[in-house]
Chain A
Amino acid sequence: MSATVSPTTTRRWPVVADGQYEGSRIPSRVPTILDVPAELRDSEDVLQVNFGPNHPSTHGVLRLIVDLHGEEVVGVEAVIGYLHTGFEKSMESKTYWKDVTFPERIDYVGYQNNELVFVLAVEKLLELEVPTKAKWMRMLLCELNRIHSHLVFLGTSALELGAISMFWYCFRERETILDLFELVTGQRMHTRYFQIGGLAEDIPQGFYPECRKFVELMPRALDDYKGILDRNEIWLERTQGVGVLSADDAIALGQTGPNLRASGVDWDLRRDQPYLHYDQVDFHVPVYPNGDVYDRYRVRMDEMAASTNIVRQCLDKLERMDAMPWIADDRKVVLPPREELHTSMESLIHHFKIVTEGFRVPEGEIYVAVESPRGESGCYLVSDGGPKPWRIHFRAPSFAALEATATCLENTLVADLIAVVGSLDAVMGDTDR
């Protein structure tokens, strides 16, 4: 075993370096609305424009009501809810093991992480111990998923600023990741591979060598992306100093994840509140101080490199765990192995009971959070002791990210609006749930 440095020991406190607090400048009484200044309110030069809900660069169905004074953005209000599907209500009417399919569809780009947070919440209420192999595999898939999510962010937001080739390069690597998901789970997206208690199936033969190939390929791909963008004059002009969010504002507006770290706040749940085996891997948490679009891009680029590194460390562990169990051995919660159904009456009964009635989860309320590609993804779960959740609520990082649009868009031009909205990396499924 190689010497692992626990990332928490190398961490610096406090979360924000001195001199980076510049005081809050949230512009209006309603923090999520940028009000038109009083002197312009009755002016005929102010034009109100609907941006969305069907604009391609809103990554879904975000609607922004923008007040324009010439090219300047003087007022903004974000309108959400066009993708509200009532996941929370639907999940209340299904048993826990059927509910696993729902959270993935909430944040449909960072699906493994959302699946993880729900499964962790139920396991915590059940006080169920998960085998170590399942934990490492969950980490591996979550990190692959983080890379996948950041690739979608990078490809689409560069595309919107005119760098079309970036899109093709990013989606080339994204295909490789989706192929890996297909190899493990049979599905490219919405994999439903995490089961309450562990994994749905054992890790198939041939996954490790394929994943190794990806780990070797990814650093070179990142160099390619940097080659295209990092010295690209147009990219730098359009991202540097645009859509600034100060550290103070980011904390006040509940930002998490890459958006928070790009504002100079050194905070990552994987390191500061470790779950799974994140305390046993060594990884770098990128932090940049300026809070502009360019820094949000740099944080995500560095995170892809860090995630590749974590995937490599997970592979090192997993390759030596071949014969180990991948799901907990608790017949009241976990489905019995398929082959036992033909020979064992007890297994058949357990299978029948879990599938038809579900298993009961002890009474209680719980909040579990993980670091998803977009920030803190949380699951609040209330159980009354029955087989269905009494109340389930997801803390969506995209929801909080979009609350910052008004503050970010102060003193910007209409062309920057697309860069800023893209850089916040909100997924509308996650926002509206």
Chain B
Amino acid sequence: MSDWARVPGYVSHRDGPEMPTVTIEAGRIREACEHARDELGFNVCVDVVATDYLGWGGKGVSGYIGTASGRDLMRPMTQGLQALPELKPKRFSVSYHLLALQQGAPRARLQCWVDEGEHVPSVVEVWPTCDWHEREQYDLMGIVFDEHPNLERLLMPEDWEGHPLRKDYPIGGEPVRFSDEQ
């Protein structure tokens, strides 16, 4: 499982405490997934998850949600963690958690990076289970998967505006139906 450089679109990889993370060019993620399934034996795609890194490394405020100007917990201080987080190449990461049904349960995370407006090829034809996983990430994070057979909202209502898990989407910002203000 170590020969990651042969994966199509390979950029870099690093080992983690639970599985290696292999960075792939966003446009070639489908080829990389096919390679992982057919050559490396990762027969299950457990999960697809996108992360929004907007504002990464900025202020970290603890306490009540409403106090955006509260005490900055991310400032290097005399106690706690000193380093500021490492900067990310683009705004969104899309991670594919793979599992091989073999001895030792090898796992790997294929990861690609996209900015707002950039698309990722769909891997539904590689693993049919990714149908709903990709729809969920489209719905909640706004990642567009090209050639997905049915890319619609999954968890939120069809006419919902915005993608709730993005960092610029406010919590508690949606209007409450039948409240006094309406």
- List residues of chain A with CB under 8 Å of any chain B CB: 13-15, 26, 29-33, 80-81, 84, 86, 88-90, 92-93, 95, 124, 251-254, 256, 265, 267, 269, 272-273, 356-358, 360, 362-369, 376, 378, 380, 382, 384-388, 390-391, 393, 395, 399-400, 402-403, 432-433
Can you report 14 A-B residue pairs in the complex whose CB atoms are below 8 A from each other?
A88-B165, A89-B165, A95-B62, A251-B43, A252-B129, A363-B83, A365-B95, A367-B109, A378-B46, A385-B74, A386-B62, A388-B60, A395-B49, A395-B97
Q: A89 is contacted by which of B21, B95, B171 (Cβ under 8 Å)?
A: B171
Is the Cβ of A393 less than 8 Å from the Cβ of B150?
no
* Pairwise interchain contact B150-A400, C-beta atoms closer than 8 A: no
Q: Is B15 an interface residue (CB 8 A)?
A: no
Interchain CB contact under 8 A, B155 and A81: yes
- Which listed residue, B85, B97, B150, B169, touches A384 by the CB 8 Å rule? B85
Q: How far is the CB of A346 from chain B (nearest CB, A)?
A: 13
Partner among B71, B127, B149, B164 whose Cβ is within 8 Å of the Cβ of A86: B164
Given contacts A93-B171, A384-B85, contact A357 B157 (CB under 8 A): no
Nearest CB of chain A from residue B147's CB, rounded to whole Å: 11
With A31-B131, A399-B132 known to touch, is A254 a contact of B46 (CB < 8 Å)?
yes
Q: 6 closest Cβ contacts across the A-B interface?
A: A254-B129, A31-B128, A386-B60, A273-B105, A81-B155, A395-B47
Chain A residues whose CB sits within 8 angstroms of the CB of B140 once the complex forms: 88
**CB atoms of B150 and A30 under 8 A apart:** yes
Q: Which of B49-99 contact A (CB under 8 A)?
A: 49, 51-53, 56-57, 60, 62-63, 65, 71, 73-74, 80-81, 83-86, 95, 97, 99
Chain B residues positioned under 8 Å from A88 (CB to CB): 140, 165
A-B pair number, CB within 8 angstroms: 149
Tell me the bound Cα distance from A95 to B16 in angstroms. 24
- Residue B44 at the A interface, CB < 8 A? yes
B18 at the interface (CB under 8 A from A): yes
In the complex, residue of chain B having the shortest beta-carbon distance to the beta carbon of A380: B49
Report B80-139 residues with CB < 8 Å from chain A CB. Answer: 80-81, 83-86, 95, 97, 99, 101-105, 107, 109, 124, 127-129, 131-132, 136
Distance (Å) between the CB of A375 and the closest chain B CB?
10
- Whether B101 contacts A251 by the Cβ 8 Å rule is yes
Contact of A367 among B63, B97, B157 (CB under 8 A): B97
- For residue B40, CB closer than 8 A to chain A, the reply is no
Which among A81, A358, A402 is the interface contact of B157 at CB below 8 angstroms? A81
Q: Is the CB of A360 within 8 A of B80?
A: yes
- Measured between C-beta atoms, what is the minimum distance from B168 to chain A in Å? 12
Q: Is A254 a contact partner of B171 (Cβ separation < 8 A)?
A: no
Partner of B81, one of A14, A357, A362, A367: A362
- Determine the chain B residues whose CB is within 8 A of the CB of A385 once the complex forms: 60, 74, 81, 83-85
Compute how far the CA of A240 lies from the CA of B25 in the bound complex, rounded to whole angstroms.
47
Is B19's beta carbon under 8 Å from chain A? yes
User: CA separation between A80 and B133, bound complex, in Å?
Assistant: 13
Chain A residues lying within 8 Å of B105, measured Cβ to Cβ, are: 269, 272-273
The answer to whether B171 touches A360 (Cβ under 8 A) is no
Q: If A367-B19, A384-B85 touch, does A30 touch B47 (CB 8 Å cutoff)?
A: no
Contact A367 B62 (CB under 8 A): no
* Residues on the A chain within 8 Å of B129, using CB: 31, 252-254, 400, 403
Chain A contacts for B175, CB-based, 8 A: none
Nearest opposing residue in chain B for A24, CB measure? B128
Main secondary structure of the interface of B (DSSP, over half): loop
A388 CA to B64 CA, complexed, in Å: 12
In this complex, the member of A84, A265, A364, A366 whose beta carbon has the largest number of chain B beta carbons within 10 angstroms is: A84
Chain A residues near B49 (CB-CB < 8 A): 380, 391, 393, 395
- List chain B residues, Cβ under 8 A from A388: 60, 62
- When distances are taken between beta carbons in the complex, the residues of chain B under 8 Å from A360 are 73, 80-81
Interface pair B149/A254, CB less than 8 Å apart: no
In the assembled complex, the Cα of A92 lies from the Cα of B53 at a distance in Å of 13
Q: In the assembled complex, which residues on chain B have CB atoms less than 8 Å from the CB atom of A90?
A: 171
What chain A residues lie within 8 Å of B104 (beta carbons)? 272-273
Say whether B155 contacts A84, CB under 8 Å. yes
User: Which residue of A has the minimal Cβ distance to B149?
Assistant: A30
Q: Which residues of B contact A256 (CB under 8 A)?
A: 46
Chain B nearest CB from A102 CB (Å) reads 14
B-chain residues with CB within 8 Å of residue A26 when the two chains form the complex: 128
Closest to B166 in A: A89
Q: A365-B95, A369-B46, A399-B132 are in contact. List 11 more A-B contacts (CB 8 A).
A: A81-B157, A89-B171, A273-B104, A360-B80, A384-B85, A385-B60, A385-B74, A390-B51, A393-B49, A399-B136, A433-B155
User: Is B11 positioned at the interface, with any CB of A under 8 Å from its CB?
Assistant: no
Shortest Cβ gap from B14 to chain A (Å): 11
Binary per-residue interface labels of chain B (158-173) against chain A in the complex, 1 for a CB within 8 Å, 0 otherwise? 0000001100010100
Are the CB atoms of B155 and A80 closer together than 8 Å? yes
- Bound together, the chains give a CA A6 to CA B132 distance in angstroms of 37
CB-based contact A391/B46 at 8 Å: no
Residues on A with C-beta less than 8 A from B43 are: 251
Q: Complex: how many Å from CA A92 to CA B141?
A: 14
> Are B18 and A368 neighbours in the complex by a CB distance under 8 Å?
yes
Which of the residues A89, A267, A380 comes within 8 Å of B47, measured between beta carbons?
A: A380
Docked pose: A391 CA to B85 CA in angstroms:
14
Is B156 an interface position by the 8 A CB rule?
yes
Question: A32 — which chain B residues lie within 8 A by C-beta?
Answer: 131-132, 150
- Once the chains bind, are A387 and B156 in contact (CB under 8 Å)? no
Set A31, A367, A384: member contacting B18, Cβ < 8 A: A367
B38 to chain A, nearest CB (A): 13
Compute how far the CA of A96 lies from the CA of B84 in the bound complex, rounded to whole angstroms: 19
Which of chain A's residues have a CB closer than 8 A to the CB of B57? 384
